[in-house]
Structures are given as structure tokens and as C-alpha cells.
Amino acid sequence: MKYRFCGNSGLQLPLVSLGLWHNFGDVDDFSLATDMILRAFEQGITHFDLANNYGPSPGSAETNFGKILHSHLKAHRDEMVVSSKAGYPMWSGPYGDGGSRKYLMASIDQSLKRTGLDYFDIFYTHRYDAQTPLEETIQALIDIVKQGKALYIGLSRYPADKARQAYEMMDAQHVRCLIFQDKYNLLYRAPEAELMPLNATMGKGFIVFSPLAQGVLTNRYLNGIPENSRVAKSHGFLKKTDITPEVLAKVQKLNELAQKRGQTLAEMSLAWLLNKKEVTSVIVGASSVKQLQDNIDTIQNIDFAAEELQRIDLLLRGPDSNR
Ligand SMILES: NC(=O)c1ccc[n+]([C@@H]2O[C@H](COP(=O)([O-])OP(=O)(O)OC[C@H]3O[C@@H](n4cnc5c(N)ncnc54)[C@H](OP(=O)(O)O)[C@@H]3O)[C@@H](O)[C@H]2O)c1
């Protein structure tokens, strides 16, 4: 594994991190989940990304991660960076969703209990909540760090102007924001306009979620929809309607390019992200140890010739996909 400093902080993250959004819940195979986490750690993936609601059922990915950590990796806690988040609906009533102090404070306590951890390395506000004053959300995060429940703060899915305000507020209280987490991949390039330049200028790490567009930017859907794929699962967030003929035509061309580079399409898609100096790490998902290993193998070649990058830009020109 290779590591990059997270913005201008002293914390290094692995180029490839593992996310537990899908495939680690109580509907999934626990022994496979264990194998993937152990393989990841063995291969130098030190960063595991969680959220309160990952499952299904919501919370079960944290519970399973905690079980695996305590049975196999307890001695290695200090070698890991574990993150969690709160922001999306988690429990009923007005205090289980959004960005209120009430929700964030209760949620981190619940997440710590489920995982059995004493603290999270990074705690995120999972989304911008326009109904809660920004100051309330950010003050809650600052206080979470001051209480020792998290070491660093992260923002996810914030508009650029709100992210800037949040950074300034944290700086004023000497609890810097470490990292920004956003969707970014070959089919979805919106962060290039504002968020990536902002984070680079302000010295924040930028970590990518859904770097493979939930599996679309791999060979997964090139020959139809496999039975065990995310699209085929009723709880999967990727829908059949996302795999349009236009998207598939682009993916097919990207796949040809990847083959010429001697990489799988998954490897090339991740390499394209990691080729950018603004990207600290990519958080991959995986439903098998083989997929995970393929994603880790990406780091063997993240270089592109200028003509390859031009070819990619050219073939992707057209309407943005929404994954
Ligand atoms: N902050 C946020 O709001 C937010 C939102 C979404 C995600 N996230 C984070 O980002 C993480 C990653 O998101 P994601 O799961 O959407 O990431 P992704 O890496 O884009 O997609 C993962 C899926 O792609 C397929 N795949 C992965 N590697 C493959 C390979 N080498 N070959 C073929 N197929 C492969 C698998 O699909 P199959 O299951 O079909 O095999 C896998 O489940 C999450 O776990 C979470 O930690 C954060």
C-alpha cells in the first residue's frame, strides 16, 4: 500500500480505503465480511469508513465491524483510522436525522457502543442540513473532538460555500477540519468545479466515495445484470434504470482502453482518480475478496500518458450520469 498525507495535516491515509455501506450488514455473509476486512488490513488498508445507518439493518455494519475488530484486530487499533458519520435518517422522530446537536451527540454515542470503540478517528457530518444553522452542527462536531469522542472532523456532501464557512468556524476554535468526502468518478465529475479547488486551497484532504459508480465503472454490467450484483439486490442503492445504453456504451469504450493499459476497468477507474494530486484516497466497496484485491492492485499503475487522459475525456463527453 501507499499512503498520502490528508491535506496539510500529519495524518496519512492509504490510497485505497474500504467502505462498509453495502455488504457488511446483517443481511450479508458475516464470514465473507470478516475475510474482506482481514484481507484489506493485511494489504495495508488502514482506513475503514462507516456511518451510523450502514447495513441493512441500519447500524448493523458498525456492529459487525466491531465484532470483527474485537475478535481479530484488537491489538491493531492504533494502526487503523476508523470513521463514522451521522446526517441521514437513523431513528424515528425529529432527533434521528439532520444536523442538530441533539442528533449528532446521541448518534456518536450509539456508534461508539455498536463498534465497541473508545473513539472514532474521523467523525463526519454526513450531509449539509439547510434546516439546522450551520453553527449548531459545526459546534457539535468541535465539542465531540473536545470530549475525546473523535480525533478529527470531516464534512460530506456540503456545498462549497457552506464548507468554507464551516472551515473558518473550526479554525477560529483551533479544531481544524481534516477532510471532505464526496462522490467523484469518471462518470460524475461535479466536484472538479468548486469543491476540489476549495479543499486543495484550504489544505483539506479530499476522499472519494463511490469511485466505481457503485460498480458501473467495472466489468460487472458489461454482459447484463448479474444475480448477486448491487442492482439485483432489493436493498441496493444502484437501480436497473441507472444502467442505460448510453452509460454502457461509454463503459464498453473505457473497458477497451483499460485492456490496452493491461488493467481491469475497475483498476483504471480508480487509477484515474488517484492520478490526481487533490485526491487523498478512494473509498471502495466490494462484495468479494477478489474484487477487493483487484482494487488494491490499482496502486501498481496510477500513471497515464497525456494522450490516454485526452482519449478518456473525449469519450466521456456528453451528459453527466447521476451515479
Ligand atoms: N458520504 C456519503 O454520503 C457516502 C455515500 C456513498 C458511499 N460512501 C462511502 O463510500 C464507500 C464506497 O461506496 P460504493 O460502495 O458505492 O463504492 P464503489 O467502489 O463505487 O462500488 C462498490 C461496488 O462496485 C462493485 N465492485 C467493486 N470492486 C469491483 C471490482 N474490482 N470488479 C467488479 N466490480 C467491483 C461491487 O458491486 P457488487 O456488489 O455488485 O459486486 C461493489 O459492491 C461506501 O462503502 C461508504 O463508505 C459515502
Here the CATH number for the domain that contains residue 42 is 3.20.20.100
Pocket of ligand 1 (CB under 6 A): 19-23, 49, 126, 156-157, 181, 209-215, 218-220, 229-230, 266, 283-287, 291, 294-295
323 within domain boundaries: no
89 within domain boundaries: yes
Q: What percent of the chain has pLDDT over 70?
A: 98
Q: Mean pLDDT, to the nearest integer, of 196-209?
A: 98
Among 9-23, 125-139, 308-322, the range scoring the smallest mean pLDDT is 308-322
Cell numbers 424515528 correspond to: 92
Q: Mean pLDDT, to the nearest integer, of 85-94?
A: 98
Residue 286 structural domain: 11-316
35 within domain boundaries: yes
251 within domain boundaries: yes
5 within domain boundaries: no
What is the pLDDT at residue 323?
47
Tell me the pLDDT band of 117, cut-offs 50, 70 and 90: very high
76 within domain boundaries: yes
pLDDT for 321 beyond 90:
no
2 within domain boundaries: no
18-76: per-residue pLDDT in tens? Answer: 999 999 999 999 999 999 999 999 999 999 999 999 999 999 999 999 999 999 999 99
Does 323 or 96 have the greater pLDDT score?
A: 96
Give me the helices (H) in the chain, please. Answer: 30-42, 60-68, 101-115, 134-146, 160-172, 195-201, 245-261, 265-274, 289-297, 306-316
What is the pLDDT at residue 318?
59
CB neighbour list of residue 310: distance below 8 Å, 6 or more residues apart: none
234 within domain boundaries: yes
Best CA proximity match to 302, nearest among 279, 281, 278, 273: 273
221-257: per-residue pLDDT in tens? Answer: 999 999 999 999 999 899 999 999 999 999 999 999 9
Residue nearest to atom 5 of ligand 1 (CA): 209
| CA distance readout (Å), 112 to 48, 106, 172, 211, 295 | 14, 10, 28, 27, 29
Best CA proximity match to 250, nearest among 314, 309, 294, 193: 314
Number of domains in the chain: 1
132-158: per-residue pLDDT in tens? Answer: 999 999 999 999 999 999 999 999 999
The C-alpha atoms of residue 306 and residue 310 are separated, in whole angstroms, by: 6
Q: Which of 283, 292, 293, 297 should be mutated for ligand 1, with most atoms under 8 A from CB?
A: 283
Q: Which of 43, 158, 218, 254 should be mutated for ligand 1, with most atoms under 8 A from CB?
A: 218
Return the SS3 of 284: strand
Q: Which of 22, 292, 299 should be mutated for ligand 1, with most atoms under 8 A from CB?
A: 22
pTM: 0.97
